Chains A and B, each alone.
Chain A
Amino acid sequence: MNGLRTGLLFLFLAYSLPVFAQPTPPEGFPSRPITIVVHSKPGSGIDIASRLVSRIAKRKFGIDMVIENRPGASGLVAMRYVLSKPADGYTVLALTKSFVSTTLITHEKVSLDSFYLIGSMMIDYEALITNRKSDVRTLPEIVEDAKKKHGHQIWVGPLVGGVDHIMAMKSWDVLGIDAVWVPYESGSDAMMALLGKHGKVYVGNPGDISGKPDLMVAAVAAPHRLPQFPDAPTFLEYGYNLPREIIWRGFALKKGTPEPITKYIEGVFEAVAKDSEWIKFVENNGAVPDFIPHDEFVNMVHREKEEARKYLQKAGIITTDKAAGRRNLIIFVVLSVIAILIYLAMNPRFPQLRYGRTVFPYILVVLSIFLFLVTYSFPRGKLSGAVGPAIAPRLWLGGLFIFGLWVLVQELRDKTPPSKLPGRKNVMLMFASVITYIVLGQIIGYFLTTTIFIFGASLLLGYRNLWIAALNAIGFALFAYIVFYRVLGVPLMVGYLF
């Protein structure tokens, strides 16, 4: 009897464990929607993944999560945005492995250490991908061809210093070869180059070949063959020790968030990661739905950071040049003083010197000299072969200088005084009110400022029917609220008050 009871109790416990594992929300949390901040534009991979997380969280726990896109500076803008918010659990950062490189390359003091890493929701193994129709297809063929070309084999992929670039450098080490990294604006541009045989190897994920019969995986950096890609051999099979290179996508909170809230959100994300809808989505993308919990995640990111630092230094991407900023400021001040002195010293008998049409090209010419001097603080073209980052700007600024000077001479020869335009005062007033509009918009929000601005500006421009001007302003603000904000979901400026 006793034994049976213990057995039943055991069974009950075993079955109810998953129920107990359901996260319990802390008192009164969440009382409003949680924002997931995404560092790329709507429609990108991580954006779609975050939207799916929000959908599943709503279904499973009834939590409202909204997505806010804060693109820019490879994730720095999103990171700074999350750090500017209170650590109350209402702002979650979506992040990928590329953030590791981003924080290393930037001169700003933004670090992943300021975040509490909740967990990684999906991983993608890194792979070398080749064109089935070219002469270099398998890993041994890549190695053989690379040795024949003495470092001139072309590898393509997205931007310099990113996850895939580091993977490329790492595999060159492991394979004992040398090659050229040719960066493209995006992974798909690079894939296009591989399809067009403008490069031999593309670094990406096995999922990239889905639906593209001309592409094949030469080797995947996974411990064993992946079930969705049974034909893709691993590095290990060829005897190269590259067992696990991954890209992860995960979520983080600002450090300092109260522990009960952190634990609860961690539980929610873990539950979402184990949901069948999520698993199906990840597998559809050719990725692996492994959940990496907090502790393991932190250690992994720490290791990756040290490794990325090593390779970024090797590639010459991390440099330490802080003197350039101060030097540029000195150049600017000195040059402006000289320019103003030259201008004042010019013969005051020419009235055309004072005309705006002469001052404008003069400023262009001076600016082009200053900016040209700035290009001398740019790094030399170590990563870009013969042509470094300074060449194009010098060419364009040189052109601006020559033709700006030409226009300046033209304008000086032209003795006709400019025609007086009637609305000069109005334009200046308009500039002032537009600036006020933007500044006020940050404080009291878009709708109220817009109403005031449209009303005021109409009167400024000489409209005299107060009622219609007011109606127009209020009508537009309402229209903007309903059509843009509500129906189309366009983000609008939010002030401190609204």
Chain B
Amino acid sequence: MGILSHLINGFAVILGFKPLAVILIGVIIGIFVGVIPGLSPAMGVALLVPFSYGLDPLTALILLVSVYASANYGGTITAIAINTPGTPSAIVASFDGFPLTMRGEANKALFVSLVAATFGGMLGTLVLILFSLPLAKVALAFGPAEYFALAVFGLTIISSLSTGNWVKSLVATFIGLFLNTIGMDPFTGYQRFTFGVPELSDGLGFIPALIGLFALGEIFFLIEKGISEKVDIGKIASKLPGIKELKKLLGTITRASIIGTIIGVVPGAGATIAAFIAYSQEKRLSKHPEQFGRGAVEGVAAGSAAASGSVGGALVPLLTLGVPGSAATAVLIGALMLHGLNPGPLLFVKKAHIINGLFAALVMAYFFMFFIGFAGNKLWLKIIKLPKELLYPVVIAIAFIGSYAVSNSLFDVWSCLGFGILGWLLKRFGYPTAPVILALILGSMAETNFRRALLVGNWTIFFTRPGSLIMLLLALLSFAAPIIRSAKAKKESK
């Protein structure tokens, strides 16, 4: 009851012309920020901080949160339409979304992503309102050993991402893991593999890598394959999934949203890892896992729902502990401080109307996102229908805006091209590209926490802490299961 009254009080605060207009503007900006590769949700929020300065604290917070809430969905639009994830978490939506587009079912993929993102976001908000205190304990229990185990568990997902040759998947994984070690070693300050190039000292940029591998690599590959073979996207593009089909997805979306919210709570894990884990989970549960990666709507739904759900999760440590749960919430903290608000548990007591308003604004933002997204999908479909000869150069130009925008550096543009060529090579020789990205995300998390754990304790720490032990066992299981299963299948077929 208490919680319900919070939400009602919250709605009382935001149900006015100004707050609603601010949410609407925030959602539109958020979707745009998501659509542009290189503008991550965190950067989108950061770009608006100066504007929000002139607003009152609640309105400012509502604006920033609306941008954050809708950016993850925005990212899936470009991921589905042109295989260019607009936000890192949208990579997962591209696995099946882009094949769907190539098959002429872009409208369906976009709609499923929108429904999943809306549902995931709302569920994440609900979890945030109901369970933020117990979830904060989960975040606190994560020490170096647990983070290491989580990273290892995450890496085992590659065994479920690979579609053919698992040796090639491993090669791709090790390429990603190695690329991750380039740059300054956080423990000694030593420059590893930088060969005197100062731009490398922070490591290779993740966004240029992402855009290069996926967008450019794919375009180069498609150009080489010959642009003439055309798919008539316009023909079936207008078909939306029916109620029956959506009902079938309900289980997937709910599970993925919950996974997303819980992973989102753990600082440093975030939307992208959440989306990957939800995706591999759904593939494992699916009756037709072989369709994943070739255009399974469940894949799109799982990725979008988990990424969106992680937003509510990431706000848990912010509100209960006063520490950020993601890059975007780190910027939110800066913005709150600018307004003289100190994020943390005392905010609930001292400025309850702001917290309540925030909850209500999140719900409202997802509500608006659904309708704006629905209207917007028609526009995106028009873009997909552009002839490829015109679309590809535009995608390359956007990719370079995105890479450059991350840190105003031309080096990132070159590295985006480098990753594009790597992606093209991998694709044409039959290596999957997703493991490279997964390894880039998880590599440093695994390494730094492994070393940190050994600074704190000795080797036994990974097995004496229950959380770490459970996750390591799960990792072993999740890595071995697909290989054993395929080996068994081989034996039987003989």
Residue of B144, B171, B450 with most chain A CB atoms under a 10 A cut-off: B171
Q: Is the CB of A489 within 8 A of B175?
A: no
Fill in one digit per residue for A469-498: 1 if any B CB lies within 8 Å of its CB, else 0.
100110010001001100011111100000
Q: Is A227 an interface residue (CB 8 A)?
A: no
B:188-205 near A, CB below 8 Å: 188-193, 195-196, 198-199, 201-202
Q: Do residues B170 and A423 form an inter-chain contact, with CB atoms below 8 A?
A: no
Main secondary structure of the interface of A (DSSP, over half): helix
Residue-wise, chain B 407-447 has the 8 Å CB interface mask toward A (1 for contact) of 11110011001000100110011100000000000010011
A-chain residues with CB within 8 Å of residue B430 when the two chains form the complex? 357
Contact A426–B192 (Cβ < 8 Å): no
**Min C-beta distance of A91 to chain B, whole Å:** 14
A328, B195: Cβ atoms closer than 8 Å: yes
Distance (whole angstroms) from the CB of A122 to the closest CB of chain B: 13
Residue of B nearest to A449 (CB): B397
| Contact residues in A for B429 (Cβ distance below 8 Å) | 356-357, 360
* Chain B, interface SS category: helix
> Distance (Å) between the CB of B181 and the closest chain A CB?
5
Known contacts A43-B334, A393-B181, A457-B396; decide if A212 and B199 are in contact (CB<8 Å): no
Report if A33 contacts B (CB, 8 A): no
Interface size on B, residues (CB 8 A): 112
Residues in B neighbouring A43, C-beta threshold 8 A? 42, 45-46, 49, 330-331, 334-335
- CB of B187 within 8 A of CB of A431, answer no
Q: How many residues of A contact B (CB 8 A)?
A: 124
Asked if B448 is at the interface (CB within 8 A of a chain A CB), the reply is yes
Q: Is the CB of A381 within 8 A of B43?
A: no
Q: Is B150 an interface residue (CB 8 A)?
A: no
Please, which residue of chain B has its CB at the minimum distance from the CB of A399? B174
**CB <8 Å contact, A211 and B347:** yes
- Cβ of A385 and Cβ of B454 under 8 Å apart? yes
Which residues does chain A contribute within 8 Å of B191, judged by CB atoms?
107
Q: Is B47 an interface residue (CB 8 A)?
A: yes
* Residue from A70, A73, A430 in contact with B408 in the complex, judged by beta carbons closer than 8 Å: A70
Are B396 and A434 closer than 8 Å at their CB atoms?
yes
Neighbour of A453 across the interface among B173, B390, B397, B448, CB < 8 A: B397
Q: Is the CB of A182 within 8 A of B456?
A: yes
Q: How far is the CA of A472 from the CA of B389 in the complex (A)?
A: 11
Contact with A along B7-49 (1 / 0, CB 8 A): 0000000000000000000000100110010110011011101
Q: Of B139, B198, B224, B394, which contacts A424 at CB under 8 A?
A: B224
Q: Is B141 an interface residue (CB 8 A)?
A: yes
A431 to B220, CA, bound (A): 9
User: Are B174 and A42 interface neighbours, CB within 8 A?
Assistant: no
Tell yes or no: B374 within 8 A of A by CB: no
B42 CB contacts on chain A under 8 angstroms: 43
The closest CB in chain A to the CB of B388 belongs to A461
A76 / chain B contacts, CB cutoff of 8 Å: 198, 201
Let me know if B199 and A77 touch, CB within 8 A. yes
A44 touches B413 (CB 8 A): no
Question: B299-348: which residues lie under 8 A (CB-CB) from chain A?
Answer: 317, 321-324, 330-331, 333-335, 337-338, 340, 342-347
Q: How far is the CA of A198 from the CA of B173 in the complex (A)?
A: 30
**Which A residues touch B285, using CB under 8 A?**
none
Q: Does B2 contact A (CB under 8 A)?
A: no
The residues in A between 402 and 441 inclusive whose CB is less than 8 angstroms from any CB of B are 403-404, 406-407, 410, 421-424, 426-427, 430-431, 434-435, 437-438, 441
* 9 A-B pairs in the complex with CB atoms less than 8 angstroms apart: A52-B53, A72-B198, A184-B452, A280-B340, A285-B337, A357-B430, A385-B454, A410-B165, A426-B224
